[in-house]
Amino acid sequence: MKSARSILTTRLRAIALGGAAIGLAQLTLFGGSAQAVTVDKMLFLSTDVSGSINNAEYNTQTLGWSNAFLLPTIKSSIAASPNGIAVAVGQWDTVARTPLAIDWTLLTNSASVDSFAAQLATMARQGSGSTCVSCGINAAVASIQSAISSGLFDSATKIIDISSDGIENVTNDATVRAARDNAASQGININALAIEGDFGATGVTDYYNNNVITPKPGAFVKTVTGFSDFEAAAIIKLEREVNGVPGPLPVFGAMAAFGWAGRLRKRVNLAKRNLPAMA
């Protein structure tokens, strides 16, 4: 039979070991390396604000994205996402602008989507220079990497959603392809909204297919015939990305999206918004 001293010693040792275990747990939780929150998708909206886009066209882009997120079917899809969707917005022209126009935000329900859409609708313009597509890609990749390494968010599905009406004129096409390949090597898909106008009917689309988007079928280019069609194209594109649909929306779904966009657009007076361009 153990002595009273032996029993007491055993109990004290157990208490000490338990305290050490708690201390280690606290160090891991509060002082160790951060553990990123796993989300269903990470989506980075990479927006061209170069000089070829005037203020009215810039407003059309921001309101188009805002209205796309407000589409009831998209909101319900995001709300149904088990772990939510992390989104951020960056702007680029001659360089990638800092800080992010909208920092990483977790969308999990209708209220969080409404708040994010409101930020999109009033997002200030950060530039109006040349067109550095590679800058936009590299900055988006860096932001995704930073969000993961800092323990903010992580996901198996990482998407850069780049929208532009132009082609690279700061560096060269090889630099753009190198940026694309770097993204692909890290499991990041690049999709694009190609806004046509200055390079013929399919000039921007062809350029993005050949130089910007990551290998198909994982990525795609959605052609926008002009800024007046931006919102409808953004809706279709976002629907595909949120739901992971490999092809375009069904005809009836697209028609419903266009109808919603039209009704929502009537409530927006673009003339009241004249955001100044900043170098």
Query: pLDDT by residue (tens digit) across 168-215?
Result: 999 999 999 999 999 999 999 999 999 999 999 999 999 999 999 999
Among the listed residues 65, 114, 51, 3, the one whose alpha carbon sits nearest the alpha carbon of residue 238: 65
pLDDT computed for residue 246 by the predictor: 45
Q: How big is the chain by its Cα radius of gyration, in Å?
A: 23
Residue 277 domain flag:
no
Query: pLDDT by residue (tens digit) across 57-100?
Result: 999 999 999 999 999 999 999 999 999 999 999 999 999 999 99
**Same domain for 76 and 26:** no
Average pLDDT over every residue of 36-58: 97
**Same domain for 73 and 179:** yes
**Same domain for 265 and 225:** yes
Residue 279 domain flag:
no
**Same domain for 195 and 76:** yes
72 burial level (CB within 10 Å; 0-12, 13-18, 19+): exposed
Residue that wins the pLDDT comparison between 150 and 12: 150
pLDDT computed for residue 16 by the predictor: 37
How many folded domains does the chain comprise?
A: 2
Cα distances (Å, whole numbers) of residue 130 to 62, 75, 124, 164, 165: 19, 35, 18, 12, 12
Residue that wins the pLDDT comparison between 13 and 37: 37
pLDDT computed for residue 247 by the predictor: 37
- For residue 17, what are the domain limits? 1-32
Q: What is the greatest pairwise CA distance in the chain?
A: 95
Residue 153 domain flag:
yes
Query: What is the distance, to the nearest Å, from the Cα of residue 40 to the centroid of all Cα atoms in its chain?
Result: 13
What is the spatial order of strands in the sheet that 158-164 belongs to? 102-107, 85-92, 41-48, 158-164, 188-195, 221-224
pLDDT band, residue 218 (cuts 50/70/90): confident
